[in-house]
Amino acid sequence: MLLQKKITFIGSGNMGEALMSGLINAKLSRPENIIATDILQSRLDSMNSQYHIRTSQDNQKAVSEADIVVLCVKPQAVLNVLDHIKTVIRPEQLIVSILAGITSDTINDVIAKNNPVIRVMPNIPVVVGEGAMGLCLGEFAQEEHKLLAVQICEAVGKVQIVPEHLMDVITGLSGSGPAYIYMIIEALTDGGVMMGLPRDVALKLATQTVLGSAKLVQETNVHPAVLKDHVTTPGGTAIAAIQELERHGLRPMMIRAVETATRRATELSQILRKNNGLKNES
């Protein structure tokens, strides 16, 4: 179904490129069916050279040729972009937005059409095909549109479908989450170095430990608490380390990190709407 669709990506940054390359590598789309736009011609030349896709600096022309329009521009610019392309948007075109803080209703309001809109919140591991994404359907999106959007997302990772009011939580958990994990990897590495390991060895071991542990949760579907108990032996090293982590509040800190990032995502959304003359939604 997706293979026959013409897809225009408005914006060709890291996320946009990851989605395009994922679709091509998974053979879900042909290069000739993908159009990328960007304000930098040098960026488009690079994309064309690497992926053999079509490119354009004319957003209106690119949108007019598409079945699916993927919005990958900065949130601060999207309302101007939508205002520019709304005259060529056809009611049957699916609009997929990866932009934080811009609701599906806002997109429909700006283009003044009842297009199917689907929001996706990806995270940076989409670049290596291991993204964690939240997806929500706008008012006019149907099952067929959801299936198309899920196909696009699954080319670069895993996707969970949620109500739109939970998208800020997705931002706080998986959208911002890689930063938390990078800090954990860095801290584990520093711990290894402090105890005598060469830094390159410590980094490789810390990275693989995080990767392997996550994969074990994913593939066994066993609760992390149960897997943790499998590692801890009476009077052993792991339980002694866990006591130290609990004493310093690792778990409440991580929970508060997600809470803080979620609240900040909501604040930024409200600021963005206010700066663009839009009413804040309840």
Per residue of the chain (282 residues), what is the pLDDT tens digit? 799 999 999 999 999 999 999 999 999 999 999 999 999 999 999 999 999 999 999 999 999 999 999 999 988 888 899 999 999 999 999 999 998 888 999 999 999 999 999 999 999 999 999 999 999 999 999 999 999 999 999 999 999 999 999 999 999 999 999 999 999 999 999 999 999 999 999 999 999 999 999 999 999 999 999 999 999 999 999 999 999 999 999 999 999 999 999 999 899 888 877 777 766 665
Torsion of CA 255, 261, 265, 267, to 10 degrees: 100
Q: Give the pair of three-digit tokens for residue 199.
A: 């830094």
Q: Any residues with CB less than 8 A from the CB of 57 and at least 6 apart, and which?
A: 37, 38, 39, 41, 44
Is the Cβ–Cβ distance between 25 and 175 less than 8 Å? no
Question: Residue 215: its pLDDT value, please?
Answer: 97
Q: Which CATH superfamily is domain 177-248 in?
A: ProC C-terminal domain-like (1.10.3730.10)
Is the Cβ–Cβ distance between 44 and 57 less than 8 Å? yes
Is the Cβ–Cβ distance between 44 and 38 less than 8 Å? yes
Question: Residue 1: its pLDDT value, please?
Answer: 79
Is 2-167 CATH 3.20.20.140? no
Give me the residues paired with residue 117 across strands.
95
Domain ranges (residues) in the chain: 2-167, 177-248
Question: Residue 282: its pLDDT value, please?
Answer: 52
Question: Residue 271: its pLDDT value, please?
Answer: 84
Question: CA Rg, the chain, in Å?
Answer: 21
DSSP state of 173: I
Residues shown for the chain: 282
Q: In angstroms, how far is CA 154 from the centroid of its own chain?
A: 11
> pTM score > 0.85 for this model?
yes
